[in-house]
Amino acid sequence: MRMLSRTCGALAVALVLGQAHAEDAFDTLRARWQMQLVGDAALDRGDAAVQAQLQARARAAREWLPRMHTAPDGDRLWDDMADFDNPKGLLASAAVTANALRLQRMALAYATPGSPLYHDAALGQATVAGLDWLLRHHYRAGKAQIGNWWDWQIGTPQRLLDALCLMYDQTPAELRARGVAAVNWYVPDPNYRTRADGSINAKAVETGANLLDKALVAILAGMLVRDDARVALGRDAIGPTLEYVDHSDGFYRDGSFVQHEYVPYTGSYGAVALTDYARLVLLLSHSVWPVTDKRLPHVFLWARDSYAPWFVDGGMPDALRGRKISWPAHTEHSTGRSMIANLAMLAEVAPAADAAALRADIKGWMTRDRTFGAGYLATPGGAGTSGLSLYELGLLKKIAADAAIPAAPEPAGARLYASMDRAILRGGGYAAVLSITSPRMSSFEAGNGENLQGWWTGMGMLSLYTADQTQFAGNFWPTVDIRRLPGTTTDHSGGARGVEWKKYPNTESWVGGVTQGRNAALGMAFSMREVTGTALHGKKSWFQLGDRIVALGADIGGAEAETIVENRKLTDTQARFVVDGAALSNGGKAGARWAYLRDEQAGSGIGYVFPRGADIVAERAERSGNWRALNDQESAQEVHATFQTLSIPHKAVNSYAYVLLPAASEAATEQAARDTSLRIEANDANVAAVQDTRAQVYAANLWQAGSAPRGGKPYVTASGPAAVVLAEQGSTLRVSVADPTQGQPVLELTVARPVAGVVSAAPGVTVLATAPQLRLRIDTARAAGSGYTAEFSLPPQR
């Protein structure tokens, strides 16, 4: 007891970065890690939110203690976590991690100053006994791995090492040494994955988030047994993750993050990477083992470019969370809050400009996020806590209370992350996230019994975020018709269970686009041949023009195809839905010009305009399902939700055109249906093009070499497939162009109009002529789908 008090008392001095070591380098490192687990000395432990966390942890520990089996040679610690011999290996290995997690939480309740169970003798003895039992029976050097490798090499060791750190002065040196020996047996080198027998598999090189997780494991293991070489090995394993990649796992230069070679994972494995970076950099800064890699500043750049642009009112979109969408406890906003807390940690060691920008973003997200009930930081969640560590909670409270930190607003405009086939479009009161798929990416990932029905989630789903911050939370995923997701053109295929870890690529290469401020031209030529195995194919475009999103589709072939304009979960089951001014929640309408959905309880209104008229079908229905259908580990209990669907069947036509007005009123939607400033210039197998004559913006997707028209005449001509946005503002013309196929070394572009001169041009753009037509050559060989922009002065109007 006395020794633990000494360690906790040292927090006030040893946990301040850059101050003198407490006892030696290892003690300082351990004290810093304890700080991240139990909070720093400055934390107000009488604060209501902090007290709620402390009380919740104590309640959980009090519940677990009387149910704990204490026989040293018993076959379990708890009856609800005894699947060690389950024939399903995944459940057996998960049981080991689950026991380690519970022991870690007990250790937190014991070792956290201010906890009702702080230094409680019975809890301390039970925790140490549980650690000893787990290390003798199920996690020991020489015991073969079964089930999921992650449990043995990341999940269990991280939680076990946390518990041993928290209980350091209560555990015999022999127990700590045995625990570290077990960890080192399963993780002898963080750079490689080990086989079931503990041998290193030199062909299984760890990357991305997994490598960072194992680097942390090595550092904590070395810290506990004062092994300098082990700590250094873990630190050096961080280095490979700091390099940009151009394929497979990691961070790309456009800000994309990919894991498992072909899955966009910013909000899942990327979230883990963010957690690890924040914890590791904070832990090692000003220590004997600082991260001196010259690439370390990339981490702060990624915080600004890879993570921050994706948050929508504090939530991290499902489009970036992969298999995690099948976990009901892990929502967009719970994930977002955890990631925001990690950004707050990173801001502690970031350069001043980056730290200031991150804290302003954080305050804005905390201010706008309404999904946590009574308060962003006070609402219990998960196992009775917010899911945040007390240290993270303290950092967020500090930012919230600092009047000198402004609350940054939601940004505006479009961003394309071409290396992972994702885009986000933002305008007044909305954000729309586009999930598309190329030969490089998979339409979805199934694995570990998770995300078993994700077939259409990457095939053109457009996730629209409005004032309704819980649209994709609750029971959206088990109840939505998974084969009729908003934005997709579907033939309702893909009902079978997804093959785990299989890549499901789109075989068409035209996937991507180009952005220019609040304007964008995005598209996807698609085939379902390698996804669900059907003959469905087509060409889909999305054009952002300010606060409008124009969706065009053409060349659609396949049986029973339809395009899903909307499939929205309703908060108000009686929400108003009108077509051409008349209520029509169920039924068809030929030649419809506009529709409007108003969900008063959600505070959300969305307008839909059909510029060329459309034969539409509206459906409102309560749907049921269960999470077990998506995730083998989840409940089979039936859940319900009501949806409003709006679709365009393709029995008679192989194209579609509609406009989304994400935050418009009903009157504004009706007016937009009469507005002639939006013109669809082309929508066929060769090109899709639109023009906003009022804003003087033109955008086109050229599916192949050729011309895109304006006013019936060729306006933009490209030597190959291209996405183009042209915007006139005053006396200037801005031209943005990209090669969405990512396969052309050079792209030549001609615009059928003269310019007076060159104002600026991105590297790689060569101006071949300014009159009588503007001609450009763009070096796209190493662009990886990114766009090029040039600005020109226009001749005086005659």
In angstroms, the CA 201 to CA 745 distance is 38
CA angle (355, 358, 359) in 5-degree steps: 85
Backbone angles phi, psi at 479, to 5 degrees: -110, -25
Cβ-Cβ contacts under 8 Å for 403 (sequence gap 6 or more): none
State the greatest distance between any 2 C-alpha atoms of the chain, in Å, as a whole number.
95
Q: Exactly one of 102, 176, 235, 260 is catalytic; which is it?
A: 260
Q: How deeply is 49 buried, as exposed, middle or buried, from its count of CB atoms within 10 A (0-12, 13-18, 19+)?
A: buried
Cβ-Cβ contacts under 8 Å for 770 (sequence gap 6 or more): 754, 755, 756, 757, 758, 792
In angstroms, the CA 696 to CA 237 distance is 52
659-663-666-670 Cα dihedral, nearest 10 degrees: -30
How many CB atoms sit inside 10 A of residue 174's CB? Answer: 9
Candidates 222, 182, 213; CA nearest to 198 is 182
Does an H or E element contain 378, and which? none
Candidates 669, 699, 542, 539; CA nearest to 595 is 669
Q: Is the peptide bond before 157 cis (omega within 30 degrees of 0)?
A: no
Catalytic residue status for 376: no
Extract the runs of DSSP E, i.e. beta strands, from 352-395: none
Helix (H, G, I), strand (E, B) or coil at 796: coil
How many CB atoms sit inside 10 A of residue 329's CB? Answer: 12
Cβ-Cβ contacts under 8 Å for 2 (sequence gap 6 or more): none
In angstroms, the CA 782 to CA 790 distance is 18
Encoding tokens for residue 608? Answer: 């839909």
Catalytic residue status for 788: no
Helix (H, G, I), strand (E, B) or coil at 137: helix
In angstroms, the CA 688 to CA 702 distance is 7
In angstroms, the CA 500 to CA 104 distance is 31
Q: How deeply is 188 buried, as exposed, middle or buried, from its count of CB atoms within 10 A (0-12, 13-18, 19+)?
A: middle
Cβ-Cβ contacts under 8 Å for 603 (sequence gap 6 or more): 467, 468
In angstroms, the CA 553 to CA 374 distance is 44
Does an H or E element contain 275, and which? helix 269-284
362 half-sphere exposure, CB direction, 13 A CA radius? 31
Q: Which amino acid is at 633?
A: Q
In angstroms, the CA 225 to CA 319 distance is 42
In angstroms, the CA 359 to CA 173 distance is 41
The residues pairing with 647 across neighbouring beta strands, listed in sequence order, are 564, 617
CA angle (521, 525, 531) in 5-degree steps: 130
In angstroms, the CA 741 to CA 135 distance is 53
Catalytic residue status for 323: yes
Q: Exactly one of 192, 269, 277, 376 is catalytic; which is it?
A: 269
In angstroms, the CA 92 to CA 371 distance is 35
Q: Exactly one of 279, 323, 568, 593 is catalytic; which is it?
A: 323
Helix, strand and coil content of the chain, in percent to the nearest 5, comes to 30, 25, 40
- Residues annotated as catalytic (active site), given as ranges: 260, 269, 323
